[in-house]
Amino acid sequence: MALIEIKVPDIGDFSDVSVIELLVKPGDSVKKEQSLITVESDKASMEIPCSASGVIRELKVKLGDKVHEGSVLLMLETSSEHSSSSSSEPTSSIGAPSTPKSIPGASQVMSPETKDGSLAKIRVEVKIPDIGDFKDVSVIELLAKTGDRIEVDQSLITIESDKASMEIPSSHAGVLVELKVKIGDKVNIGDLLAVLESSERVNQETSVPSPPGVSPQALLESPALSTPSAPGAPAAFADPSSSPGLPNKALASPGSSPEVAPSLPLHQPAHNLTANGKIPHASPSVRKFARELAVPLDELKGSGPKGRITHEDVQSFTRSVMLGNAATKAQQIKTGLSQGGSGSGVGSGAALGLIPWPVVDFAKFGPIERKPMSRIKKISGANLHRNWVMIPHVTNHDDADITELEAFRVLTNKENEKSGVKVTMLAFLIKACVACLKKFPEFNSSLDGEDLVYKSYYNIGFAADTPNGLMVPVLKNADSKGVLQISQEMAELAKKARDGKLSPAEMTGATFTISSLGGIGGRYFNPIINAPEVSILGVCKSSTQPVWNGKEFAPRLILPLSLSWDHRVIDGASAARFNAYLGQILSDFRRVLL
């Protein structure tokens, strides 16, 4: 048994790089070359491997620490005698990276339009520089496009092996004439990467073609080749054959956010871009893990530093999908649950494991007329379908005694007759619901992954029946408005909805929705929650009912309430309390002031 220090090995020109991930903890048994931590500079990141097998007794670094070659990472208890000096000495077999090399990585070709030998437009071939022992590494990202003005050392592509990734910089400045690789290509040292048109001074020294024949190892061992700013050389990277390697650094991509088209294959796990056009921020080992599970990394939210996606994030996403709490975009498209597009129609049912939708020749049974669904119906249909299938709905029905409130409403309308503002029960309901949402904040929340987002604003959507179909205008900041103002704004929004003039801003941002069928009829119904909200109140027509007051049956005006709620967020007792409190407020509206 021996207790040895495990130190950061030779990591090339990296110095004072940040520890961004701890991959092990005290008590863990680790194998030689198992990754211990991830470090990251501005151009690259790498996993630092262990130089021996044993049990970790103490971690000597924490997240955010800066480390360099020789920094003690941890104390390891090894089973065999192990000299401390040998274990702590960085060796090339444990992650010594191939440091940036001064291979010019370029050859020049005079362009036809060259007239002057001293300052001429030249075509420069940029080649893959020394990338250590990397062989046949995949191009995962193109960072420049034809016509781009490229600076020396500007990254052109990102390549990735299963253990490491790196940006390949340009050896020259100029305008990018052609990128000679595409995503998915395999590259090696000396491969032609790009052709630039450069206005550089023609210089014999720089016109030396890159030496693909030179052994990377020879270059690695030559101190003269470790110039960090050497053009054509990538940022320092670990030798993948001898090291657990380097994770990827998230990179800005010139690509735009990809629209998910229904024709997409199920997943492109590793290389999808995030909504803001970036490669998801994750280490190569996490990428590999995601690839194995076909997890679309671009759909994950990283919980690590700077939003880095961790191993646990991939596990937890996979768990959520398996439990049916989340669906990948591809799954949504396949099952027809995505918003709009093909999702609005009737799906085959096959993806849900259901028998197919019946195909009937209706004309066989009588005359028919076929009309296309309105755009609004298609969109709202797709949303309702998704919400109905994906949210575990429960509905609590209750009654509220609104006898006094209705008398007050009638009086208010009389008093405000001249103003033109008409107060309906819905305006009181909006005000009363805000009071309930304040008392039961989870009803004003949204699910975001495994987090609940509680909102401190109260924007109430209300379902409006329009000639084109159902629309849900949103009355913003209802908590700061009186019933008269609410009535006025509601009337304006409802008119806009019927005229098809609602702006997107007037239909978004709701925290809770009310669907009132009070002007039409009915008793109770199960309203469908408007995701990402977690509850919705359905209201039907009030009617006079005999209510026992302890002595006798008295005629009371009763309003039927139906509260649907997301059982992932809210439980039945809370829903019953919400309805009871709403009933109390509606029967004595002074409670809204409490």
Q: Which residues of this chain interact with ligand COA, rule CB under 6 A?
A: 424-426, 462-465, 470, 494, 515-519, 539, 541-542, 559
**Rounded distance, CA 17 to CA 247, Å?**
14
Q: How far is the CB of 426 from ligand COA (least distance, A)?
A: 4
Q: At CA 289, angle to CA 532 and CA 322, rounded to 5?
A: 40
Residue nearest to ligand COA (CB): 518
CB atoms within 10 A of CB 476: 19
Nearer to ligand COA, 35 or 542 (CB): 542
Task: Please give the full DSSP string across 511-542, using - where no structure is assigned.
Answer: SEEEEE-TTT--S---PPP-TT-SEEEEE---
Min dist. Cβ of residue 298 to ligand COA (A): 34
Closer CB to ligand COA, residue 278 or residue 397?
Answer: 397
Q: How far is the CB of 560 from ligand COA (least distance, A)?
A: 8
Would you call 393 a catalytic residue per the annotation? Answer: no
- Retrieve residue 128's tokens: 């893959």
Residue closer to ligand COA (CB basis): 241 or 526: 526
Residue 439: CB minimum distance to ligand COA, A: 22
Rounded Cα distance between 497 and 487, Å, is 15
Give min distance, CB of 27 to ligand COA, in A.
Answer: 56
Rounded Cα gap, residues 246 and 311, in angstroms: 15
Q: Using CA atoms, how far apart are residues 356 and 529, in angstroms rounded to an integer?
A: 26
DSSP string, 237-304: EE-TTTS---PPPP-B-SSPPPP--TTS-S--TTT---TTSB---B-HHHHHHHHHHT--GGG----S
- Confirm if 150 and 177 have CB atoms less than 8 A apart: no
Buried b (16+ CB within 10 A) or exposed e, 241-265: ebbbbbbbbbbebeeeeeebeeebe
Q: Is 127 exposed, middle or buried (0-12, 13-18, 19+ CB in 10 A)?
A: buried
CB of 382 to ligand COA, least distance (A): 15
Considering the complex, state which of residue 336 and residue 461 has its C-beta at the smaller distance from ligand COA.
461
Complex with ligand COA: residue 198 or 511, whichever CB lies closer: 511
Q: Which is nearer to ligand COA, 181 or 463 (CB)?
A: 463
Cα–Cα distance for residue pair 313/330, rounded to 1 Å = 19
Q: Which residue type sits at 456?
A: S
Measured CA to CA, the distance from residue 225 to residue 381 in angstroms comes to 64
**Residue in 311, 393, 397, 567 annotated catalytic:** 567
Residues annotated catalytic, as ranges: 567
